[in-house]
Structure 1
Amino acid sequence: MLYIGIDLGTSAVKLLLMDQDGKIHKIVSKEYPLYFPKPGWSEQSPEDWWKQTRGGIKELTAECDKSQIAGIGFGGQMHGLVILDKNDEVIRPAILWNDGRTVKETNYLNEVIGKERLSECTANIAFAGFTAPKILWLKENEPDNFAKIDKIMLPKDYLAYRLSGCFCTDYSDASGTLLLNVKNRCWSKEMMKICDVREEQLPALFESYEVVGGIKTEFAEEFGFTINVKIVAGAGDNAAAAVGTGTVGEGGCNISLGTSGTIFISSKDFRVDENNALHSFDHADGGYHLMGCMLSAASCNKWWMEEILKTEEFDKEQENITKLGENQIFYLPYLMGERSPHNDPDARAMFIGMSMDTGREEMTQAVLEGVAFGLRDSLEVARSLNIPIRRTKICGGGAKSQLWKKIIANVMNLKVDVIESEEGPGYGGAMLAAVGCGEYENVQAAAEKMIKVVDTIDPDMELVAKYEEKYQKFRQIYPAVKGLF
């Protein structure tokens, strides 16, 4: 059988066709515009998503045996606010995860409602990108639109609604709304009251691998599918990508070295740290996960190479870096402020420790190490909650650097596994569809079958000891300079 994974991203929708063994048959990408109507605002048209997804499905399946298509699953950009009226018309453009208009509402939630109360209700605190602050902004600034709301949904769930007619979401994506009681997997009555929304305005909740409905007859005919194609809930992009890397079950870990950096830790049990330094969300495998997000990861190296050294030969700049664990230069990786674990938008990057004999190799090495140390900050929070973490997957553009992977392995004291295929949320969405259609008993069984490790970088105990000493110095720098920001 064949399964479609739809990854609704910020710049494009990426569609993937996969068979029951996890082999990818075809990938199609369709772009759509991003709108910035005011400084700091970020919006998209849900109709653009639907139009490109519809065309993408036709292109993806043009040459396959359409009778073999069994299910469609999703991964998608999180936190976006999509609102429909009683006629199922989109009321206004979707307000996206990277929209910054809700500073006032975020401060209200964290300072007036209070972080402690928010954590009790949702296991998380408010961030400007989350959905609940957007709802409060809408109520204050666009009361006419707020009054029209019949349905509140997340971006990928708009596609599921168009395909199936089911008003639904999954627990992992719902976790990022600040409206979900993450521990008990239900909408928080207190948060609904705070945001002045009714439960009937919120979607029905499903596990990521559960079937929410069947494809509408009109679209089965349009695409040439059978009417038996199942629509599966899918997951938020980070949870879907974790499924796509096999980061499931107790103590699974994945590090993403993209423009931003994440460390994603899966767990069978609900956990939340006392300072809410990490996001505590439901996972797509039916369990839970913790996630630390640093705003500048591979982008730190890109900035250093292209803007400061004026070169695009990234590999060449790393060739002469051999003295790992001995660098006297430290780099704080906060080019755009920081999310986890400091939650400080005013934090900034800095080098410290230079001397007359400091060269470009030491500075380059410090950048790579600084990102690794920043990710370790989040790992230490997870370790404090007694999650057994012994190894991690790694993905993202920065993971192409063998040197960076070696630094990560030794800074973290973890085995670092490189996987064969890195197709992220779309692959995870297709895997969830396969589970929903009964191809696999559960998400873990699907991951064990499909995810193949092709290389492992083992930590060197001598380097681990050197980096432990360096990390203990690194973690003293931010508190010492925080007041300067």
Structure 2
Amino acid sequence: MFLGLDLGTSGVKALLMDEDQRVLGSSTAPLTVQRPHPGWSEQNPADWIAAATAAVAQLRAAHDLSAVRGIGLSGQMHGAVTLDAADAVIRPAILWNDTRSHAQAARLDADPRFRAISGNIVFAGFTAPKLVWMAEQEPEAFARIARVLLPKDYLRLWLTGEHVAEMSDAAGTSWLDTGARAWSDDLLAASGMRREQMPALVEGNAPSGTLRPALAAQWGMGPGVIVAGGAGDNAATAIGAGTIAEGQGFVSLGTSGVLFAATDRYLPRPESAVHAFCHALPGMWHQMGVILSASAALEWFAGLVGQAPAELTGALGPLQAPGEVTFLPYLSGERTPHNAAHMRGMFAGLSARSDRADLTRAVLEGVAFAMADNLDALRAAGSDPRMLLALGGGARSDYWLRAIAAALDLPVLVPEAGDFGAAFGAARLGLMAATGADPATVCTPPRIAAEITPDPALRGAFAEGLARFRALYPG
């Protein structure tokens, strides 16, 4: 058996999988985010350990874990966990959606070495500017730093005692030479860091250590359980979805929205705000467009009108042409293609006859149009997926998927019911690390329940809707 642990922003998920990749069970323990100041987003790493412990305990209550051979890790990217020489946490972890270091990010991004070596814009959410902020605002804490870890890699330290990261997550720090798959001394020095403060690097499907005997005994596991390198959340999702070959892609409608394209080439194009990161497998990279509010936009609107998101979308009926109301989903700024933390959302075209259904459709269409912007950016950067697998909680809405197919003019594939997310991908990485199995054999795509093709009768209307959407971009 194999265990996947996915450290998300809202919870830790544990998933148990057998040798044939059948999901035997899963459990989730919740997490909360602390926001002590505007733009701040923090978590206490001790809470991650408590949540992981609780999630595994729930699994153990229902399953014998003695046959577990490998554990894989997935997690929220970009967070900064700072440790002293005794591996004690110095301050709460600064998370991916924290924007306090936007000025420091802009300064680093103005240094041409960052885009040239990392292949990416230095976004405010990335790790390097967080450490520059610490150096400037919390110098005494910064001076104590012996090691910096990404969130899931702090779980690894607890599991194995090892300071290790892997390529896909490291690519989101602004410290990695993404083409060479190695830390860059130039980028570290430019942000006041040193190589010895970085963890060792392994590939996602390689062993990173073994489970500490005390934890193995606590969880009812035998000795020598391998812990895989793992992956950042989106790369792990790609492993779970079998998105590991050139031309394959997925659209994920989670809290944020992701358009992901696998590639066997390193194709940086930072000026487009497309992310060019290492994949979780050797010799593979991926390009990714990211919008910061996807399901989060629908949940925000649902909260305003006092209904559940599923109620709102379920009442819409068949797909319609975009109406008078247009929605910009930039509730927390935007990454691709705008790279603008200051952007904010809006409804435009409201009239006295606008009703709840009109606004619901506008929210779904606004996210779909933002995804169309991402597709254009990916194509300009060298990726051209021919169809997209639909993932994430928002993919349960048939209306939303049809709107995305229409806005992107691409088929959208709906997998059969099952768990193909980051925790499943992490378990697959645990399988590969423990057994040496071939990724092509392990990372098969899910069976497809339905293919949603763009409605030719609505192609012109959605093109017009996209044009109206783009005309509203703030200057």
TM-score between both structures, scaled by the size of structure 1 = 0.90
Query: 2:43 is matched with which residue?
Result: 44
The 1-side partners of 2:4 and 2:258 are apart by 22
Separation in structure 1 between the aligned mates of residue 292 and residue 334 of structure 2, nearest angstrom: 6
Take 1:55 and 1:326, find their aligned partners in 2: how far apart are those partners? 45
AA of the residue aligned to 2:79: G
- 1:461 is aligned, of 443, 446, 456, to 456
Distance 1:11 1:358, change over 3 A: closer
Superimposed CA distance per residue, residues 265-313 of structure 1 (whole angstroms, 9 cap, x where no aligned partner): 2111111225142111111133111121212223333344442x55447
Q: 1:217 to 1:376 in 2, by over 3 A?
A: same
CA distance in 2, matches of 1:125, 1:30: 34
CA displacement at 1:421 relative to structure 2: 1.7
Corresponding residue number in structure 1 for 2:433: 436
Quick one: distance in 2 between partners of 1:412 and 1:140?
43
**Cα 1:408/1:149, change in 2 over 3 Å:** same
Q: Which residue of 1 aligns with 2:116?
A: 120
**Residue in 2 aligned with 1:425?**
422
Q: Identity over aligned residues, as a percent?
A: 38
Question: Alignment partner for residue 129 of structure 2, among 119, 133, 157?
Answer: 133
Matched, 1:195 2:191: yes
Indicate conservation of the 8 Å contact 1:119/1:276, yes or no. Answer: no
**Bigger mean CA deviation after superposition, 174-183 or 24-33:** 24-33
The aligned counterpart of 1:475 is 470
Aligned to 2:93: 94
**Corresponding residue for 2:145?**
149
Who is 1:75 aligned against? 74
1:280 aligns with 2:280: no
The alpha carbon displacement at 1:119 in A equals 0.7
Give the Cα–Cα distance (whole angstroms) in 2 for the partners of residues 337 and 318 of structure 1: 28
For residues 317 and 232 of structure 1, the distance between their equivalents in structure 2, rounded to whole angstroms, comes to 39
How far, CA to CA, are the matches of 1:350 and 1:31 in structure 2?
A: 31
Q: Deviations over 1:161-209 (max 9, x none)?
A: 2222221101111011111111111111111111222212101111111
CA deviation string 1:327-385 (max 9, x = no partner):
35433222332221112223233344456766554443333222111111011111123
What SS does the aligned partner of 2:66 have? helix
Given candidates 184, 205, 213, the residue that maps to 1:209 is 205
- Contact 2:253 2:394 (8 Å CA) reproduced: yes
Match in the other structure for 1:301: 298
- 1:226 paired with 2:222, answer yes
Contact 2:65 2:221 in 1 (8 A): yes
Distance verdict in 2 for CA 1:323–1:62, change over 3 Å: closer
1:395 lines up with 2:391 in the alignment: yes
- Partner residue, 1:104: 103
- Count of residues paired in the alignment: 473
Alpha-carbon separation, structure 2, partners of 1:101 and 1:326:
36
SS state at 2:367 partner: helix
Cα gap change, 1:154 to 1:85, in 2 (>3 Å): same
| CA drift at 1:473 | 4.3
Q: Is the 8 A contact 2:13 2:27 kept in 1?
A: yes
Does 2:337 align with 1:341? yes
CA–CA distance in 2 between the matches of 1:186 and 1:439?
A: 23
**How far has the Cα of 1:245 moved from its partner?**
2.2
Cα pair 1:12 1:29 within 8 Å, conserved: yes
Alignment-mate amino acid for residue 60 of structure 2: T
Partners of 2:58 and 2:443 in 1: CA distance = 27
Query: Relative to 1, partners in 2 of residues 1:195 and 1:437: Cα closer, same or farther, differing over 3 Å?
Result: same
Tell me by how many angstroms 1:152 deviates: 1.3
Q: Distance in 2 between matches of 1:16 and 1:381?
A: 34
Rounded Cα–Cα distance in structure 1 between residues aligned with 2:53 and 2:312: 43
Distance 1:463 1:285, change over 3 A: farther
Q: Which amino acid aligns with 2:210?
A: G
Name the TM-score, length of structure 2 as normaliser: 0.92
Q: Which amino acid aligns with 1:101?
A: R
Which residue of structure 2 aligns with residue 289 of structure 1? 286
Task: Return the letter of the residue paired with 1:456.
Answer: E
2:162 to 159, 163, 166: 166
* CA distance in 1 between partners of 2:297 and 2:146 (Å): 43
How far apart are 1:4 and its partner, in Å?
A: 0.5
Cα displacement (A) at 1:43: 2.3
Question: Residue 441 of structure 2 aligns to a residue in which SS?
Answer: helix
2:243 is aligned with 1:255 = no
1:213/1:230 contact within 8 Å kept: yes
SS in 2 for 1:184: coil
* SS of residue in 2 equivalent to 1:291: strand
Q: Quote the offset at 1:252 in angstroms.
A: 1.8
Determine helix, strand or coil for the equivalent of 2:86.
coil
* Residue in structure 1 matching 2:237, options 235, 241, 244: 241
The answer as to whether partners of 1:395 and 1:422 remain within 8 angstroms in 2 is: no
Distance 1:437 1:473, change over 3 A: same
Aligned-pair distance for 1:259?
2.8
- Following the alignment from structure 2 to structure 1, what is the Cα–Cα distance between the partners of residues 135 and 309? 50
Q: Answer with 323-332 or 411-420: which moved more.
A: 323-332
Give the 3-state SS of the residue equivalent to 1:66 in structure 2: coil
User: In structure 1, which of residues 353, 368, 373 is the aligned counterpart of residue 369 of structure 2?
Assistant: 373
> In the superposition, relative to structure 1, how do residues 471 and 213 fare at CA in structure 2: closer, same or farther (>3 Å)?
same
Q: Does 1:12 align with 2:11?
A: yes
Change (3 A) 1:320 1:428: closer
State which drifts further: 388-397 or 351-360: 351-360
Matched letter for residue 43 of structure 2: Q
With over 3 angstroms needed to count, the CA separation of the structure-2 counterparts of 1:414 and 1:440, relative to structure 1, is farther
